[in-house]
Chains A and B, each alone.
Chain A
Amino acid sequence: MQLRNIGTIFRKEVKDTIRDRRTMIFAFVMPIMAMPLLMTVIFKIQMGAVQKIEHARSDIVIQNIAELPKDLHDSLMADTSLFQVKTEADYPGKNLLDELKQKAFQLLVIVPNNFTKAIELESPTGIEVYYDRGEELSSAAYGKLDSVMTCYRDRVVESRVVKRQISKDVLRPFDIQGNNVASAQKVAGKLFGGIIPYFLILTCFLGAMSPAIDLGAGEKERGTIETLMVAPATRGEFVLGKYFVIMLTGIMAGLMSLASMTIFFRYMASDPTMKQMAEMLAIQFDMRTLFLILAVVIPVAGIFAAILLSISIFAKSAKEAQGYVGFLNFVLVLPAFAALVPGVELNYQIALIPIVNISLIIKYAIAGTIEWKYVITAFVSLFALAALALYFAKRWFEREEVLFRM
């Protein structure tokens, strides 16, 4: 094995790959664009929907409104942007429950006879509210009405207590003060840490994919493989030279996506429509986190590069290779979802599972709760797999049936 030959092959493949527009799109443009585009679209749609529901005025029909206590009546009428109050008189001869189901309005409140009196006399009574839980607007209206009613009920209780000359403190023997000790980083990591490793792993795979297909199956398709096989470099030198190029583009793609995400989070904090989201995320990569993420991207790219190269050299054509790679994408990138599944925690067993361990390590690193014993375990597992895959790629390259499978 000669370094000079590996270097020659590496330099040639780098030059060839840089000139390949498709690879450049997968390795650089897409990782930079994908995350911000996707996130912006999702955020805008979601924030828009949330705002629409929260700020919508709810139509509410109160049957028997004359029996509503004045205090409650006034509360409901106070903010006309909150509720538009109607009565059964607005729907003459109609079944109000059916009308609710037909979305003519969002809430139906039925006030029983003598409701005001019952409250004054302190005798038990109740009020019925109908809403449609299958409708977001109706559910939201119910929530708003519930809080108005609860406030009113608290006031009634207070007045009753005061009437009996008891301090109203009796109603609230103690306060519960919840204090969050987690840093904003940890909260963000737990909430959002899952999506970052997923994007990183996916972009790393896609970055390595395109050159891998070209450097393996592409040699067969172009009819250049024979000239390589009779050139005095060894099969192992070809494997390594090609391998490092594929790995490099995988790493580059990962880095591009990481850089793009970092910049995007900064930008998000400055954009008023996304500020709320950004505050919730509060993602700040410190240098240690960044280094750790970079360090895990390397073995991931190493594993992807070796597996992709093996498959690519086996395939007869780029098209065939693409078929295998499509399936592989599913198998290799799917475990990256692990970090998105709630309740999946790092332990020694999980730290041994490739890709799953990476996605969890990145997630924990972002949350700032990383445990080094798991990181080391994961690294041992990842490097072992990368070495195994590379060895396999080399063996594959030495087999005539594979090389001349045309």
Chain B
Amino acid sequence: MIEARELCKNFKDKKRGVVKAVDHVSFSCKAGEVYGLLGPNGAGKTTTLRILSTALKPTSGTAIINGTDVTVDPQKVRSQIGFLSGNTGLYGRLTAREMVTYFGNLYGMEKQAIRRRSDELFALLDMKDFADSRNEKLSTGMKQKVSIVRSVLHDPPVMVFDEPTNGLDVMSSRTIVDFIKHCRDSGKCVIFSTHIMSEAMRLCDRVAIIHNGRIYREGTVNDLLQATGQNNLEDAFIKIVGE
């Protein structure tokens, strides 16, 4: 479903010169699997996910999403993925329904399909009471639900979550975590980035430790714990990065 091949992304920075934000990153993720990118801020997680979701072009290397090369047909890739990040915003002056409909249209969905699917998702996420209120009036948790519906409306086979629980309270985080599980259980290929180790332990089938733009080690959580001889992921992470 997702296959990253030797992805590199360089940025030019006035002070630091050329910065290798992503440095020869390769991994793969199958349908029905949650793959975690685990690393501190500035490790290259967001950049990697932005390349996968075609917001950025890789400097070299490529990624294949559901059979389509991101560098060859980014438009097609976009219709295959759902994207959600912790700081995703909403259009405050639109209602949840209007916002979701807008994206449904952009994803080329038919009017009835948008209506049917959004009603279904509003019911699933218990959003019926505020589906027609303006987004600016909603609480953080409600907003996050709107974002979820927006990301999954077109029923993409691949889901990309960039630090999805960043800045959320416990209840909202729980909604997101449940939603990620729901995606996995319905057979989607899920890639997700976080710097919260406990979240990675709970959710990920496999994780990659990413630091300074490079993947240090990859495997199931148990693999990493065993390989480092630690009993929690945080210590394993420090050990791996410190080596």
Interface residues of A (CB under 8 A from B): 4-5, 8-9, 12, 15-16, 19-20, 221-224, 226-227, 229-234, 400, 403-404
Contact = CB atoms under 8 A, between A and B. Distances in A.
A231 B89 contact: no
Interface in B94-129: 94, 98, 102-103, 105-108
A16 B93 contact: yes
B88 interface: yes
B90 A224 contact: yes
A7 B169 CA distance: 37
A233 B57 contact: no
Contact of B87 (A12, A15, A223, A231): A223
Contacts of A231: 78, 103, 106-107
Given A8-B102, A16-B94, A233-B106, A227 B54 contact: no
9 contacts: A12-B98, A12-B102, A222-B90, A223-B85, A227-B151, A230-B54, A230-B160, A232-B76, A232-B79
B115 to A, nearest CB: 15
Which of A16, A19, A20, A227 has the most chain B CB within a 10 Å cutoff?
A227
B102 A232 contact: no
B152 to A, nearest CB: 13
Contacts of A9: 106
Contacts of A233: 106
B88 A226 contact: yes
B230 interface: no
Contact of A230 (B83, B87, B92): B83
Contacts of A227: 83, 88, 103, 150-151
B53 interface: yes
Given A222-B91, A222-B92, A223-B89, A400 B106 contact: no
A160 to B, nearest CB: 86
B174 to A, nearest CB: 22
Interface of B: 50, 53-57, 75-76, 78-79, 81, 83, 85, 87-94, 98, 102-103, 105-108, 150-151, 160
Contact of B55 (A15, A19, A222, A226): A226
B81 A230 contact: yes
The dominant DSSP class at the A interface is: helix
A400 B102 contact: no
Contacts of B93: 15-16, 19-20
Nearest to A19: B93
B54 to A, nearest CB: 6
A4 B104 CA distance: 12
A233 B79 CA distance: 9
Given A226-B83, A400-B56, A15 B89 contact: no
A231 B91 CA distance: 15
A232 B94 contact: no
A15 B94 contact: yes
Contacts of A223: 85, 87-89
A317 to B, nearest CB: 13
Contacts of A12: 91, 94, 98, 102
B177 to A, nearest CB: 21
A400 B105 contact: no
Q: Identify the 8 closest CB pairs spanning chains A and B, nearest first.
A: A223-B89, A222-B89, A232-B78, A19-B93, A229-B55, A8-B105, A230-B53, A230-B83
Contacts of B54: 229-230
Contacts of A234: 75
Contacts of B105: 4-5, 8
Contacts of A20: 93
Which of B81, B90, B98, B106 has the most chain A CB within a 10 Å cutoff?
B106
B107 A232 contact: yes
B187 to A, nearest CB: 21
A324 B77 CA distance: 36
B79 to A, nearest CB: 5
A224 B89 contact: yes
B78 A15 contact: no
A329 to B, nearest CB: 25
A19 B135 CA distance: 13
B140 to A, nearest CB: 13
A25 to B, nearest CB: 15
B180 to A, nearest CB: 18
A12 to B, nearest CB: 5
A12 B150 CA distance: 15
A233 B91 CA distance: 18
Contacts of A16: 91, 93-94
B98 A15 contact: yes
B57 A224 contact: no
A224 B94 CA distance: 13
Contacts of B92: 222
A396 B88 CA distance: 22
A162 B81 CA distance: 108
A222 B53 CA distance: 19
B198 to A, nearest CB: 25
A20 B98 CA distance: 16
A339 to B, nearest CB: 38
A231 B151 CA distance: 10
Contacts of B98: 12, 15
Contacts of B87: 223
Nearest to A2: B108
Given A222-B89, A227-B83, A227-B88, A232 B56 contact: no
